[in-house]
A and B are shown apart, each in its own frame.
Chain A
């Protein structure tokens, strides 16, 4: 409970139907200051806007939602303000650096103006784009053709000026990406170089933007699950879980134990392969080529297992609202054992090659440092934040799926450099293995879906055997899961950070609004400040170590 905040704004604050603190738009900056300084809510999880055009009960069309975590990272509070007709509110970028990009996104998607924002321009959509696509009156099928690339000098010149560089004579402007061998998908970083030292950097994202959130508004909850596969495609299962977990939270259902344990097992396996991809990529970026195969071969064996289990290699879509599509297959335990052994060998071989290698140490240690305070202020999460030494892991701080009952350690770094980020990931692979082994031992028998027939499909013999089963199947397939009206945020520990979904439901089978909190969105926002002052070679390593996945970054 944010005590100081409630005392200070006793009269102004009200609590709405879904548990959010509502207050007047003019007070938001003060309120956040109090929350930040007196109550210790220093971590801005996410912020987004809601367009109430199709909900006539709302007084104002737009509302802004702020999600904050306290120092222990276990409590999330929601702050909500209504936006008046001017469509302008105060920017909080001066308090939370992470709000900079979040506000740009809201401006881009909803057209809400932020006063005193340092650089309010589009972020996910192209600069030639007309309109604001997440507004309810923007037709979902209306595409626009934009092709002129942004030269980014409108951001570069002021930023250089702030650093005291007036003359551009000695600088070389260079685009690292979008089509660069080490740009991890399609991420563009525009840098001003002096010899090879990066004096100033600006990131541009959105090259892979495909309107995930808009698409969600037009699909039933279970239809969205394949879309979530494409967010962080290196650990598709975790994205499935995160979305299903958020919806299940609104439905207020508790999964059967077996389903929870399977989610833990498959989720941790996903986390391992996600880390393997990140580590393999960064080591190749460093020239340590051999490790790529040492780390990718075990990943391949995990994919064999996943395709046997789910029918797909990369985009598994294994989870359903209220459980999962089917139970584990016969002989799963043996295959899992083979995978874990392969990962163990691969990680061990890689570590023997690099762990005591002087070149590896010199390339990674004290490179791309981000301090604890800075990392929290910029809303970094997951391994990137733990590498700075912040003990923040949702599996520990806000356990779900019986994580509190597993015996595993949180890997923490000390400096927050590339080396720490790499080593934290290596350690997390080991810890994930421990969790999987414990979960396999304790895996209970039972159903893998909730018994509620308005949520999960009936067994096939019922569908074919009696009218009730047939009706249940028919209604669920044709209508989808009906989710009661709510506005709620729920997160799990994704492979590269806190992966949460803010879902606004209106009682229909389709979500009214979905906002994903992609962990690497905030990591990418922090990236330019991490690489400034370093060299090109360091910038490449920093990008790799933050594990930016363009799929979830651009959505």
Chain B
């Protein structure tokens, strides 16, 4: 059914992507602590290794060796599987995301995408929304009221932003006429002026807001905000199970950053003397930084305000945007 070479190539790519993204997710936690610290006039981790870099390893070891506690009354199989769902869906979504321009290694052309498909965008968004089952199942199986509230918030939040993110990418799709992320990237080859962000500023803003909601980042981090609902769905989790939620969240952050970079900000096209691969890294880094910047700057919203803004502001706006785009294109 499959060519052996294809299988081997896919396995190798998948191993690299999972390993690199998992490592990056860990590194992102360190970056987050450092960036937030500098914005808050303090130093952040400083004692473990140079500039606290080994803090990362220390945290990893701590998580690895922590006791795995399953509370009484919890529905055990679901409780155990929920974090795996959260992490897995975050990584599976990356199967259709291109990261770099294709390049040649040892005379072999490599496409830095695990699987190039023509409905990549739909696939990524679909799989990412399956990820909601992680928090939902975790919250409902923990037998803890805070967890249940967290799960309810997660669902309400997901139901709200999903409509917006779906509608906001429609306008770029109308302009390009393809759901493949590689096609979308190739449509923006002509330098900064060609980026979709200029033609679709509204869609860009809407999609970015939906991205913040999808990753549970401030100002929409209602799902596990400790001052209100302790740790939300993750209240009863400890050790590596909690760590999986964590990795999933940061992997999601990276996916969203990559998606926004590709759809609206010219993707991995080379710019001036900067090669495309580096451009992509720069853009993703910028987005990660933006996530942290917003967290440092703003208070966060109430769950009902989040719903309000999604259904009554963002959704009508994105519909209007689609209509305008339709008329402008024809």
Contacts and interface: CB of A to CB of B under 8 A. Distances in A.
B302 A289 contact: no
Contacts of B152: 195-196
Interface of A: 172, 174, 180-182, 195-196, 283-290, 292-294, 297, 353-354, 357, 359-360, 362-363, 535-538, 540
Interface stretch (B18-26, B62-70, B181-189, B290-298): B290-298
B219 A289 contact: no
B39 A290 contact: yes
Given A287-B218, A287-B300, A363-B299, 11 more contacts: A174-B145, A174-B149, A181-B230, A182-B226, A196-B152, A196-B153, A286-B227, A357-B298, A359-B298, A363-B301, A537-B302
A362 B305 contact: yes
A536 B41 CA distance: 31
21 contacts: A181-B230, A283-B299, A286-B300, A287-B218, A287-B219, A287-B227, A288-B298, A289-B36, A289-B40, A290-B297, A293-B41, A354-B299, A357-B299, A359-B299, A362-B301, A362-B302, A363-B299, A536-B228, A537-B228, A540-B227, A540-B228
A193 B145 CA distance: 11
Contacts of A538: 302
Contact size range, B: 20 to 34
A536 B304 CA distance: 11
B145 A172 contact: yes
A113 to B, nearest CB: 37
A180 B298 CA distance: 23
Given A287-B225, A289-B40, A536-B228, A196 B149 contact: yes
Given A287-B221, A290-B40, A293-B41, A359 B301 contact: yes
B47 interface: no
Contacts of B218: 287
B40 A535 contact: no
A363 B308 CA distance: 13
Nearest to A543: B227
A359 B40 contact: no
B304 A535 contact: yes
Interface of B: 36, 39-42, 145, 148-149, 152-153, 218-219, 221-222, 225-230, 295-305
B314 to A, nearest CB: 15
B150 to A, nearest CB: 11
A349 to B, nearest CB: 9
A357 B301 CA distance: 12
A537 B303 contact: yes
Given A174-B145, A196-B149, A290-B40, A359 B227 contact: no
Nearest to A174: B145
A379 B148 CA distance: 37
Contacts of A359: 219, 298-301
Contacts of A297: 41
A268 B46 CA distance: 36
Contacts of A292: 40
A380 B161 CA distance: 42
The 8 lowest CB-CB distance pairs between A and B, nearest first, are A287-B300, A288-B299, A182-B227, A286-B299, A285-B227, A293-B40, A537-B302, A181-B226
